[in-house]
Amino acid sequence: MIRIASYNIRKAVGLDWRRDPMRVAQVIAGLRAHIVALQEADKRLQPRPTALTPEAIRATGMVPIDLGPGPSLGWHGNAILLDPAWRCIGYERLTLPGLEPRGAVLAEIDTPAGHLTLCAAHLGLTRGARVAQLHAIKEAIGLDRLSQSVILGDFNEWHPTRPLHGPEHDVKAISPGRSFHAKYELAPLDRILVGGNWSLLDTGVMREPPAQRASDHLPIWCEIAPNTARAEGSKKDRDFHDPPA
């Protein structure tokens, strides 16, 4: 089983408007995930230093995938934390289309359950941009790797059931629940796409303290395992195809 999470940490600024990296680290550690995709992991202004201190990163119990030199933890704010026993064997920084500066991180990860292609993304504010950006991500992954992939992050999609992706039969769309706003839970902005090589075991939104104050988003998570019966599928997989209204 692989447990994967996504969390928009809003530059470690909580609902009390205090920047508290250790509070964010406590939330991340509480997710008990093998992989965590972060959005808004860096401060806004150049040179965009990381919002998480070295002490906070150590407190998560995870290690960041090294995305190159510089003070930033991520790329366009997207970063990936990994179980220290696992290995990233390659990555690609993607620049996404649209008027806003947006990007994504594509990582190849060796896991005990098999090879995983993971994309951490933060999509744009307009629907047209989001559709184009998700299409660009799938083009970068390629059809040969799409079935072994997981794409997740802050998709900025307010509509609970309207899909952003095409009708690929090898991808399941998952909306774990309303993850924004952390206090009012208005919309399921944070989403996951799971390739057909993986079977979805469970998914959800972390609502326990201090997640309710550490950011304006709540973390989402899913648990997956290798799909040993792709032809038949499973009822639980089908149950997650359409997010609740």
DSSP string spanning 35-69? EEEEES-B-SSTT--BSS-HHHHHHHT-EE---SS
What is the mean pLDDT of the segment spanning 64-92?
94
The tens digit of pLDDT for each residue in 107-130 reads 999 999 999 999 999 999 999 999
**Stretch 67-83: mean pLDDT:** 93
pLDDT digits (tens, 9 = 90+) for 190-241: 999 999 999 999 999 999 999 999 999 999 999 999 998 653 444 444 343 3
The predicted pLDDT at position 226 comes to 97
* Phi, psi (deg, nearest 5) at residue 12: 70, 20
Buried b (16+ CB within 10 A) or exposed e, 25-62: bbbbebbebbbbbbbbbbbeeeebebbbeeebbebbeb
pLDDT at 229: 62
The answer to whether residue 106 sits within a structural domain is no
Cα distance between residue 24 and residue 226, in whole Å: 30
Q: Considering the chain, what is the average pLDDT of its residues?
A: 91
- Position 167 scores a pLDDT of 63
Residue 182 lies in a domain: yes
Closest-CA residue to 215 (of 5, 4, 7) = 7
Residue 168: band (very low, low, confident or very high) from pLDDT cuts 50, 70, 90: low
Q: Structurally, how many domains does the chain consist of?
A: 1
Confidence of residue 47 (pLDDT cuts 50, 70, 90): confident
**What secondary structure does DSSP assign to 83-144, as a single string?**
-TTSEEEEEEEEEEPSSS-EEEEEEEEEETTEEEEEEEEE--SSHHHHHHHHHHHHHHH-HH
Q: Report CA torsion sign: 3, 164, 105, 144.
A: positive
In a domain, 215, yes or no: yes
Domain range for 213 is 2-84+153-239
> Is residue 101 in a domain?
no
Residue from 4, 2, 3, 5 nearest 219 by CA = 5
Give the CATH number, domain containing residue 187: 3.60.10.10
Structure confidence at residue 106 (pLDDT): 98
Q: Tell whether 22 is covered by a domain.
A: yes
Residue-wise pLDDT for 15-34, tens only, equals 999 999 999 999 999 999 99
> Within a domain: residue 36?
yes
Residue 166: band (very low, low, confident or very high) from pLDDT cuts 50, 70, 90: low
Q: What percent of the chain has pLDDT over 70?
A: 91
Q: Is residue 33 part of a domain?
A: yes
Is 39 contained in some domain? yes
